[in-house]
Structure 1
Amino acid sequence: MLEERQGHGSVVERQAALEKMYPSWERRTIATHFHKQCQQYSDNPLIMMPNQAVTYGEMWERAREYAKAMLHLGVKPGDHIAVLMENEPEYVALFVASSMAGAVMVPLNTQLQKEELTYMLRQSDTNWLITHQYAGKQHHAEGVKNIVSELQADAESPFTKAVCIPNKEADVPEIYMTWEVFLQGARAVEETALNKRWKETDNPDATAAIIYTSGSTGLPKGVMLTDDMLLRSGFATCLTRGYEVGRRIYAPLPMYHVYFLQEGLFAASFVGGGMVTCHAFQPLQSLELMEKYQVHDFLAVPSMLVALLNRPEVKHTNLKSLYALLCCAAPSPVPLWKRAVDELEVTEIGTGCGATEAGSTTMLTEIGDPLEIISTTVGKVKTAGAAAHPEFGDKSVTYKVIDPDTRETLPSGSAGELAVRGNVVTEGYYKKPEETAFAKDEDGYIRSGDLGTIDEQGYIRLLGRSKDLYKVSGETVAPKEVEDVISMHPAVNQVYIVGVPDQLTTETGAAFVELKQGQTCTKQEIRKLCREHVARFKVPRYIWFVEAADWPLTGTGKIQKFKLQDIAEEKRKK
C-alpha cells in the first residue's frame, strides 16, 4: 500500500513539474482559465458527488449554457449575481458562467437566516438571485420569497429577478423564475453573442466575486476579489503543496467558502484535478466517498478530522490512494496529527491560515515539517512561483506585525496583530469605506485580526484573534495559550475557551472540553494542569464537558466562539 501512496513522486519533483508547466504567469479571468483547462483536461472528472461525476468538458458545456441563459435573462456586464445553493456541480458552472457574462458572483452562506440574507442582498446591490429550493433543512425558496418581493418593489434597489432550482418534491413559489425556464432562454442566444460578451468583459483585474466575512464587530463585510487574485492564490497552494496532474481531493466543505474554492477547486484546476464533495459532512459518508473515488488528498477542519477518526469503519476502509491531508481553520494538537498519520496512513500533512481578504490561505506548513511545527504554527507564506509579487521573490504576500492600537510596526519577534500585503489582497470591502480605511493602511497592508509572532525562519505562530482576548483583573488572556495547555491532557480531544463577564474580575475564562471516546478526566485535573503551566489568572474559572455533537459549528466546521459565549451565559445562570 505504501508503494501506491508513493507513486505520485516527491513534493520537490512535483513542484519542479509545476514550474515547468507554468514558467510565467498568464493573467486570466476565471472563464478564460477554465476554458483552457477544460480543453486540456476535457475527460478528467472535475466535480464528484455521491451519485454523479462531471468532467471538465461537461462542466464547460454547462457553463456556456448558463452564461447564454444569463444573457437572455438580461444580465449586464458588472451585474451582481447572488448564489444561495448547496454543493452541486451547477455551482461551479455558474461561477464560470458569471465570469463569461462579465458579472460578479456573490456566494451566500446557506445557513443564513432571513435578516442576514436581506442585509447581504441589499448591501451587495444584488441584481439577480439563483437559489436552491432547499439547502439542508433550510427551505430557502419559501424563506426568501418575501425578501425577493420586497427588493423587486423597492424602486431604489437594483434587484430584478430570482431563479429557483427545485430539489425537493414541493411547488416553487410563483415569484421565482424556474430553473427550467431560465435554461430555455439559452436557446435564444447565439454562440457569437456569448463570445462577444466574453471578449468584451475579459478583464482579470475586474471584481470576480464579493465574498462576505463576519467582522469582529458590526455587520458582515463583502470582500472584493478579482479573477487574478483568486487564481494566483489557488496556484500558490497548488505549487506549495505540489499538486500532481489529476489529483483528486476530498473536500466536504461548502462551495461558497474560500477554503473550498482556493485550496480545492482553483488549485486543483491548474493540474486537471478533481473535487470530491457532498452536501454536508458526515463521517461515514466521507469514508465511503474517499474509498469510491480513491482520493489522494483530504481538506478538513479539526472537528471533521476528529469525527472521522472516531469512526470504527476507518480501519476497514480502502484508502490506499490517500497520502495528503490539509487541516486548517483551528490548531490541532500533536496527538490528533499522530492519529491521522497512523490511522489514515497519510505521508504529507500540513496546516495553514489566511483570510478571505487575502484570497484564503496565505500561509502553509511545508511538506516534511515536524509535528511540533505543524501543531504550533500555521506555517510560512506560500510559495507562488510564477504568480509571485515582483517585490517578494517567490511569494505573493508579505507579513508584518503591528501594534493593534497604534498600527505601529513592531520589531522582529514581537507579538502583535498580523498585517498582510500582496497581489492577492483585496482592495477593500464593498461599499464600506470606513471599514476599509480602518483595515488597510496607505502602504496596502490589511490587518488580519489575528495576533501572532513571526520567527527568524518565517514561521508564524497565532496567539488568537484580537476579538477573542479577554481581561482578568486587567491582565490580558489569549485563549489559545490556555487551550494548548489543556490539550496536553491525554484524555482531551478538543477544547475551546471564551471570556465571560465576572463581577469580581471583569472577565474570566470558560472552558468547553470534549474528551476522547472512553476516556475520563475531572475538572480538578484540568485546573491542576493549567496551574502547572500558566499564571493563576489564566486558569479558567468555569469548565464544562461537552459531547462532539454539542459544538456550534459554521458550515465549514469552525467552532463558533460567540455561540459558546451564549451557552456559557446560560450555564452560569443555572
Structure 2
Amino acid sequence: MEPLRARTLPDLVRAGAEHHRDREAIVDGPVRLTYAGLAEEVARFAGALAVRGVGKGDRVALWAPNSWRWIVAALGVVTAGGVLVPLNTRFKGAEAGYILARSGARMLLVDDGFLGNRYVDSLDRSEIPELSEIVPFDAWDAFVGRTGDVTATVEPDDLSDLFFTSGTTGRPKGAMLTHRQSTEVYVAWSELADLRAGDRYLLVNPCFHTFGYKAGVIACLLRGATIVPLPVLDVAESLRLIERERITVLPGPPTLYTTMLDHPDRHGHDLSSLRVAVTGATTVPVVMIERLREELKLATVLTAYGLTESCGTATMCRPDDDPVTVSTTCGGAIDGVEVAVDPASGEVLVRGYNVMRGYWQDPASTADAIDADGWLHTGDIGVLDERGYLRITDRLKDMFIVGGFNAYPAEIEQTLARHDGVAEVAVIGVPDDRLGEVARAYVVPRAGLALSERDLALYCKERLANYKVPRSFVFLEALPRNASGKVLKTTLRGEA
C-alpha cells in the first residue's frame, strides 16, 4: 500500500516503512529515526500498551510537548486500537483533569516536569476515577521493555482521536474524528501545500492541536517528509534549525513569521532552503506575505481555515494565489467539502467528509453544531467571493485567538467570577502586535473591596493556561447592558 492510499494511521506507518524505509522520518536533537525505525518504535509502544490492556476504543491521554516521543506515543495509541486524547502543555491541573474525566481516559502518558511543570502533582486523582495508570516519559524504556502482540483490528471509520475544544459555555467538548478523516483531509492539505517526499518540516505548531498533529505529523507521513519537532516556539532556535537541518517547510501562526523576519539574528543564518509557509488562525498582514516571498524567497505562502470540528481544515488558498488573496481570504473549499454562508445570519457553514462525527457523549451539543442537513455551524461570520474564496469577518462565538490558540471569554470570566473581590466581569479579545489578540477583562469590584490588576493577573495565572490570562484589566462601576440585561460586548470592543 502507498502511504497516500492508507486510510488508517497504523496502515500509514507501515506503508511509510515500506516506501520510505531509510529516509529520515523524525530528527529530534540526537535522535534520528528513519521511516523503518519509526515503524519499529511505534509497534513496540503499541505492544506495550496492549500488554497493559489498552485495546479497541480505549481513550489514552497524552500530555507532553512536541518530540519524537510524542509522535511515537500518539501513533502507538492508535495502532493499539486506542483513541488519542491530547492535552495542552499549558493546562493547569484542573483544566487537564476535566478532560481526563470527561473522556474517561484509562491511561495518561506525560512528560512530567516539562518547563518545571509538575503535571502529575497538579491532578486531583479523586476526580478522575477511570484513570488507572500514569506513565511518565522518564520511565519510557521500562514501559516499552514489557511488550506484547497487538490484537486490535483498526478500521478506517474507527475513532482515532478526541481533540477537546471549548465552546461559548467554556466547557470543553471532545470532537470525534476518525482515521479516514485524518488521512483523507491531509492528502488534500499536503497536495495544496506542495509537501513533497524528502521535504524537511519544522514542527513548531504544538501536536496537541490539530494543526500540529494532522497538518504536521500525519501530512509528513503521507508524503514521506522529515519531521523536525520543536517543543516550544523559540524563534532563535528555529533559525538555527532551519539552517542546520535545511528546513524546507515551515507552517505556523503569523506571529512566528513576523518575529522571525524582524529577528536581529536572521541575517546571520542561511535560510535559503525554505520553500513553503502555511499560516492562518488570525489576521494575516499583506506585507508579511510579501516579505516572506521577497525577503526569504519562499515559493509557496498559503493561508487556510478550519476548526477542530472540521478535522482542522475546510478551506485553503492555492499555490499561485497573489499576496492580497492569501492575506485577505482563507482560500476555497478543499475537494469534497462544501462551504456556504447562511444568508440570514452570515454564519459560515461547512459540510463534507471532514466534519466530526459529533461531540463525545454530548448529543445536545452535537445537535447544536451539526444540523439535520449535515452542515457544521462554525460560529464564524464570513463572506464568499465570486471564486468561492472565504473571508472571515467576525465571530458569532465570543472566541478570540491568542498566538494561534483559541481563547474563550466564558471560561476566563468563570474563573475571575470566583475571585472574592469580583462582582461582575466581561472579557473580550483586543488587538496585540505580537499575538494577534489577547484577553482584556472588564471588572466590577465588589463593594468595599480593593482590587488591583496585579492581584487578578496572579489569580488567573494560578488557574489558567498563560495564553488565557488577561493582559489588561479595566475597572468599571457597571458593565454596559441592553434592555434585557445582556452585557454589550460590542460596546466594550468599541471602547477598546
Q: Aligning the two structures, in what range does the TM-score lie when normalised by the shorter sequence?
A: 0.7 to 0.9
Is 1:42 aligned with 2:21?
yes
Q: 2:130 aligns with which of 153, 158, 161?
A: 158
Deviation at 1:85, TM superposition (A): 1.1
Deviation of 1:309 (Å):
1.2
Q: CA deviation at 1:442?
A: 0.8
1:185 corresponding residue in structure 2 = 146
Q: How far does residue 241 in structure 1 lie from its aligned partner after superposition?
A: 2.0
2:75 is equivalent to residue 96 of structure 1: yes
Aligned partner of residue 474 in structure 2, secondary structure:
helix
- 8 Å Cα contact 2:398-2:428 kept in structure 1: no
Q: Structure 1's 509 and 421: CA in aligned 2 closer, same or farther, altered over 3 A?
A: closer
- Say if 1:41 and 1:26 are closer, same or farther in 2 by CA, change over 3 A: closer
**Are residue 287 (structure 1) and residue 217 (structure 2) matched?**
no
Pair 1:251 & 2:203 matched:
yes
Q: 1:226 to 1:514 in 2, by over 3 A?
A: closer
Aligned equivalent of 1:425 = 355
Counterparts in 2 of 1:508 and 1:255: CA distance versus 1, 3 Å: closer
Instruction: Kindly provide the amino acid, as one letter, of the partner of residue 13 in structure 2.
Output: F
Trace 1:247-396 onto structure 2 (pairs within 5 A). 247-382=199-334, 395-396=335-336
Q: What letter corresponds to residue 85 of structure 2 in structure 1?
A: V
| 1:183/1:244 CA distance change after superposition, 3 Å | closer
Displacement of 1:70: 0.8
Report if the CA contact (8 A) 1:377-1:459 is conserved.
yes
Matched to 2:474, the amino acid is: E
- The answer for the alignment partner of 1:400 in structure 2 is 340
- Aligned counterpart for 2:381 among listed residues 440, 448, 451: 451
For 1:60 and 1:118, locate their aligned partners in 2 and report how far apart those are by CA, in whole Å: 31
Query: In the alignment, which of 55, 59, 82 is matched to residue 61 of structure 2?
Result: 82
Q: 1:315, 1:343 within 8 Å by CA — same for their partners in 2? A: no
Q: Cα deviations across residues 91-130 of structure 1 (Å, max 9, x unaligned)? A: 1112222222111111111111111111101100111111
Aligned positions of 1:153-232 closer than 5 A: 157-166=129-138, 178-186=139-147, 189=148, 193-194=149-150, 197-198=151-152, 201-232=153-184
SS in structure 1 at match of 2:250:
strand
TM-aligned CA distance change 1:39 to 1:570, over 3 Å: farther
- Could you tell me how far 1:273 is from its partner in structure 2? 0.5
Checking the alignment, whether the CA contact within 8 Å between 2:57 and 2:83 is kept in structure 1 is: yes
| Equivalent-residue separation in structure 2 for 1:328 and 1:442 (angstroms) | 30
What amino acid maps onto 2:256 in structure 1?
M
2:366 aligns with 436
Residue 90 of structure 2 is aligned to residue 111 of structure 1: yes
1:514 aligned to 2:419?
A: no
Q: Which residue of 2 aligns with 1:389?
A: none
CA contact (8 A) 1:212 1:223 kept: yes
Aligned position for 1:31: 10
Go from structure 1 to structure 2 and tell me whether the alpha carbon gap of 1:353 and 1:312 turns closer, same or farther (over 3 Å shift): same
Change (3 A) 1:36 1:27: closer
Alpha-carbon displacement from aligned partner over 1:124-179 (angstroms, at most 9, x marks no partner):
011111111122232213223x42x653xxxxx4322111112xxxxxxxxxxx43
Q: Distance in 2 between matches of 1:510 and 1:125?
A: 32
Give, in whole Å, the separation in 2 of the partners of 1:65 and 1:88.
Answer: 17
Q: Secondary structure at the match of 2:359?
A: coil
SS at match of 2:388: coil
Instruction: Between 284-293 and 44-53, report the one with greater CA deviation.
Output: 44-53
Deviations 1:69-102 (A, max 9, x none): 1111121321111111111112111222222211
2:100 to 99, 115, 121: 121
**Cα 1:283/1:508, change in 2 over 3 Å:** closer
Distance, in Å, in 1 between the alignment partners of 2:64 and 2:189 is 26
Corresponding position of 1:465: 395
Gaps of 5+ in 2: 402-406, 414-425, 435-459, 479-496
Distance 2:214 2:137 in 1: 25
Change (3 A) 1:179 1:251: closer
8 Å CA contact 2:302–2:326 kept in 1: the answer is: yes
Give SS of 1:361's match: coil
CA contact (8 A) 1:353 1:363 kept: yes
Give the distance between the partners of 1:82 and 1:215, measured in 2 at CA: 21
Cα distance in 1 for residues equivalent to 2:347 and 2:181: 23
More deviation, 369-378/340-349: 340-349
In the TM superposition, what is the alpha-carbon distance from 1:46 to its structure 2 partner? 1.6
Deviations 1:407-454 (A, max 9, x none): xxx2xxx87111111111101100111111111101111111111011
**C-alpha contact (below 8 Å) 1:63/1:96 kept by paired residues:** yes
1:530 corresponds in structure 2 to none
SS in 1 for 2:91: coil
Q: 1:512 to 1:205 in 2, by over 3 A?
A: closer
Give the one of 173, 186, 193 matched to 1:234. Answer: 186
- Contact 1:415-1:452 at 8 Å conserved across structures: no
Q: CA deviation at 1:320?
A: 1.9
Q: Compared with structure 1, are the counterparts of its residues 301 and 572 closer, same or farther at alpha carbon in structure 2 (3 Å cutoff)?
A: farther
State how 1:135-150 maps to structure 2 within 5 Å. Answer: 135-144=114-123, 146-147=124-125, 150=127
- Name the residue aligned to 1:521: none
Taking every aligned residue pair, what percent have the same amino acid on both sides?
A: 26
For normalisation by structure 2, the TM-score amounts to: 0.80
- The structure 1 segments of at least 4 consecutive aligned residues displaced by more than 6 Å after TM superposition are 507-510
User: In the TM superposition, what is the alpha-carbon distance from 1:316 to its structure 2 partner?
Assistant: 2.5
Alignment RMSD (CA, Å): 3.1
Deviations 1:300-324 (A, max 9, x none): 1011111111212212211222111
1:263-305 Cα offsets, whole Å, 9 max, x none, are 2221121221112221101111000001111111111101111
**Residue 567 of structure 1 aligns with which residue?**
472
Structure 2 counterpart of 1:336, which letter? Answer: M
| Separation (CA, whole Å) in 1 of partners of 2:182 and 2:235 | 30
> How far apart are the structure 2 equivalents of 1:139 and 1:345?
43
- CA shift for structure 1 position 511: 5.0
* Residue in 1 that maps onto 2:42: 63
Partner Cα distance (2:222, 2:170) in 1? 37
Q: Given the alignment of the two structures, is residue 72 of structure 1 paired with residue 51 of structure 2, yes or no?
A: yes
Query: Conserved in 2, the CA contact under 8 Å of 1:45 and 1:56?
Result: yes
Deviation, structure 1 residue 342: 2.6
Structure-2 separation of matches of 1:26 and 1:275: 20
